[in-house]
Structure 1
Amino acid sequence: MEGEEVKRRRKESGDSHVNRLDDGCLMHIFSFLSPIPDRYNTALVCHRWCYLTCHPRLWLRVEKPTKSLTEPGVYPSLEAAISAARPGDTILIAGGGNHSASNIQIKKPLCLIGGGDLPDDTVLTCSRGSDSALEFLSTCKVANLTVRAELGCCLLHRRGRLTIERCILQCEENPLDYLSFPIMSTASSRSEALPPLLKGQQHGDCVTVSRTRIEGGAKAVWTGGNLVLQQVRAIYTRTAIFFWFKVGMQ
């Protein structure tokens, strides 16, 4: 009877087993959740869980400059967030507007995720005269984002394993669209020209694309190294075509 009474009191006070854990332990548990949608939904449970799931130890955020940026882990631009991020961090880019992204190099493993409900809620715009919006020199993931390039490419893959999931890649239509490619990869299996610390990493170089809409450009994918297009699948809808494919070593 005493045990039932204790359970009843705990239930009435909302003192569940998980809520008796300290903040560090809870944050460690939350770190295993996927940022979208699991960690995002977890933030809706209560104020404490919202604070822990939005902590900069779990992910960094890019907000518009018009908003208050006094919170730790919040940055006014994607470039600033990438510079401050540690290897393995997740960066949540606020939806509802355009963010500038021109020739941003990413040399550490990161995950970039759009914070909107749909990919076109969060837009990265690459200005004319830039080679690419984002240049990847490490294993990274890009999800739930729209990337637009006026001239050049949306995503430039140098090395590492790049995953593109549920995105929209757009190259503007213009007379020079033969110079535009939504995805470019220059990765090669030849490692003799690489510094010693990078040798042996090229075997894992690849680009994996899923549920992604690709528009404009001379070709959807251009490869200048030893990687080739494979495992192509497309689903046609009334308004768009969504692609699944991989660019890797045969």
Structure 2
Amino acid sequence: MRLTLCSKYPGLPPVYPVGPVVDHVGPARWHPNRSGHEKVIQWLDRQPDCSVVFLCFGSMGSLNRAQVREIATGLERAGCRFLWSLREPAKTELELPNDYEKLENNLFPDGFVDRTVERGLVCGWVSQVSVLAHKAIGGFVSHCGWNSILESIWYGVPIATWPLYGEQHLNAFEVVKELGLSVEIRLEKGNDLVLAEEVERGVRELMDGGDGELRKKVKEMSEKRKKALMENGYSFQALENLINVLLSEV
């Protein structure tokens, strides 16, 4: 089927920008660890609004023990409430990361679990989109996969960037430097250790500035994204134009 060419750029096909496309349910309904996810949501229900920083690095994101200890130290120093979805590196390149079998004390700095028990929760897999939608979440430490960015902005949650692989460093650069919607822990992907000082600084900046300009800008962008999908919004109109073109070619 032939599409009508864009008159502004002769010889090139038109582009119909639709979205953002966000799965608001996620895998919470079918994932085998639904009971664990429900316990996380119940814990969030007991926390004040916008008080919790959420750390999650995606389905392929994992952390070795040295990095776990640096993050734990940084979180404890930052002093805020936290929810940390923690996964163990896969044993081979063909496998996906798994949850740590036991979140025992020797994985963390001595006494970390006991000292943070009243304000922090470390868990395995959770439905990221369901957590970001919760009113207790006030910030998101993310690997900056594009789905994660779309979900976070949709729910008005500011991001602290920590890209791990692929195009994530480009996504991080865009939301920090070009759009001003995030704070930086790291902008470049790499295998070097992110130190506790960097984690503490990034989390403090993310959460302490949550009621200021950053959160305001993210909320404004969230509203724009939602309006785009409403009738006469630009995404709605783009999809309508595409349908009309397709029907005209039938």
- TM norm structure 2: 0.26
Q: Which one has a bigger Cα radius of gyration?
A: 1
If each structure's helix is expressed as a fraction of its own residues, which one has the higher value? 2
Greater RCO (CA < 8 Å, at least 6 residues apart): 2
TM-score (norm 1): 0.26
The structure with more strand, counted as a fraction of residues:
1
